[in-house]
Structure 1
Amino acid sequence: MALPTPQPSQPRNFFERLLYEVRQEFQGRKRPQPVPPKAPLVQISHQPHFEILPLGSRSGDIDGNLSAYMVRALPLNEAILCDAGTLGGGLKFCEAAGALADIPLPHTPANRAESDAPLSVAGRVLTETIRAYCISHAHLDHVAGLVLTSPDDVPKPIYMLPPTQELISAHLFNNQIWGNMGDKGPAPQIGKYHYQAMETGTGLGVPGTGFTLQAWPLAHANLTSTAFELRHSGHSVLYLGDTAPDQPDSPGALHALWEAVAPRIKNGTLSTILIETTYPNTQPADKLRSHLTPQLLLATLHDLAAVCGGRHALRGLTVIITHVKETFAALPENPQKAIQRELEEGNNMGIRFIMAQQATRYLV
């Protein structure tokens, strides 16, 4: 004897009828796909030549957001990373924020065997987009990410001045703190990274890219820091690592740098500078630790303006502020807001000041 076909239960009251109708209405429909996140975008130039993406933008006591600036030539899949305090974690943060979505990664990943597991977008940017590193100095907030991410990286050059190379060889990639990932220093040398020593002001091309790099020394604490100019297709960006101010009435490393780059600022091919301002003006002078404040930055920018021909010579120049000190202290004003306010109050040169933010894209 055949059993009767079960019938769907019918709604017995108003609320059950309403629920029944809603279910019928949406039955079989596909759930809407989540909208991917869209990272903040600041378009500074109407015809941008570079995208600057901070993988990390701060200094101080809190890791996960330390100095690392990816400079990508538009619209290409080639970039240089200036410092690497935060690297792997910064790339993953940027991927989650949608900041890597516009990078034109090729359909077929490079440097991968068929048996390898597929990489995330962050992993592909690490291994395919970032073609070289420019390391300004060996302080941990500028190199920790490079060290920690190195096992998953691919061979590429590290550009640095000889004093920085010596410190990294002796104290980081030394087979004690970490395996020697470089091609110089203590044996055994894994050789993943080629240490490319630079000479002051001498341009070097980055293999496989259109980038040319120049470096100049900066004074910082008891070591040498570095400023790098990254040039591609006739345009350039200037990145400064940590720096002390020049002494009053005594031209120093910053003045020498300004004299070197002034011709390109005057002809408009260098229109963006990334420079540190670690503390607001309230920081006592004996606790600056060889860093800049807004007052000190404005003073050296006035020196740059004088080298370029006068106060109005920097009108329209973009200065991206890096390395603001993060702290556990409960301060009366957010340090970034305080620094931006103090810069704007003293800005009589027509400079555009921008506070660098992690995972924000700057088109310059």
Structure 2
Amino acid sequence: MAGRRERARQERKVKIRRIVIAWSIVLVVVAGLVVAVTWGAGQLRERLASAEDYPGPGTGEVVVRIEQGQNGYDVAATLLEEDVIASSEAFTDILVEDSTIQLHPGAYRVQQQMSAQGALDAILDPANKAELRVTVPEGYTLPQVFERLERDLGIPQAEFTQLAGNFAQFDLPDDAISLEGWLFPATYTFDEGITAAGVIEAMVARMHQALDSHGVADADAQRVLTFAALVQREARFADDFGRVARVFQNRLDINMALQSDATVAYGTGNLHVVTTTAEERADASNPYNTYQRTGLPVGPIGAPGDQAITAVLEPTPGPWLYFVTVDPNTGETVFSETYDEHLVAVERFQQFLRDNPGWGG
């Protein structure tokens, strides 16, 4: 009995020693991890402290761009190149320390020789985003569009005109004869530093988007824009768009000349009048003369908007073949089915001209 008790006691001692050794190993491992984590944090703090950095707050102003797809290291390289920060490490170490920071594409106004943290704060502040806004009204012709773009974006008209001379470089259909009609009228927001080519690309892309949303096939895009530009120029009020489109469609259906003064005027280059002379209407050499040529004009005479495109695709039902704006000041327009009815309306317009000498000239 005494021998068995002694053996049991010895076995308990062995088990206790094993447990003590096991826990000692665990404590050593944990202690090692704590030392490693502490050392790593210390290394990051030392790196942050040692990375070259400007004291800030910075001077002057510079616009930097963050492109789509760039990462923090790319942005740091851009900031370093523009002398915004003293070193890439000072900027990227902040991003490594806080993985929740997100940098968004765009142009930003910052100062040179800022601290890395100050530069990051400036980029994250929406108030520092360098943006330009421009609104292009419906019906504007290319020269008018380019004038507006120069005024609001600061890009010389000459740059747009030069690009328009090589319009094939843009995403236009094969039957397009110019950029006319393809620059969608809307309000745009561009980053500072946008190029003339970038502006045109964006406006053409927006027109494609509009045509796609209306279900216009690529093969029919130029014809729809040519028709819609005509409606845009001739209609004034929302209710008139569909009726103007119907008049022209009814004429097209019977091969009747459209007889639009707006197209004749566009062909002469005199875009600031609503009337034309007998000589201008008789000029068959004008490719936009819809008095002398049947069918649609050779191309758009301005930039149509969604309302005009909708009117062409869904014209208001009606038998009209004629319309005339009898009071240009109010926009009142009379639609007629017969020529005799139309002559009565034309007399009202002519009376307006007699009462308002020099109007529209």
Q: TM-score over 0.5 for the alignment?
A: no
Report the TM-score, using the length of structure 1 for normalisation: 0.24
Where relative contact order (Cα < 8 A, 6+ residues apart) is larger, the structure is: 1
Structure whose residues are more often helix by fraction: 2
Report the TM-score, using the length of structure 2 for normalisation: 0.24
Structure whose residues are more often strand by fraction: 1
Report which of the two structures shows the higher radius of gyration computed on alpha carbons: 2
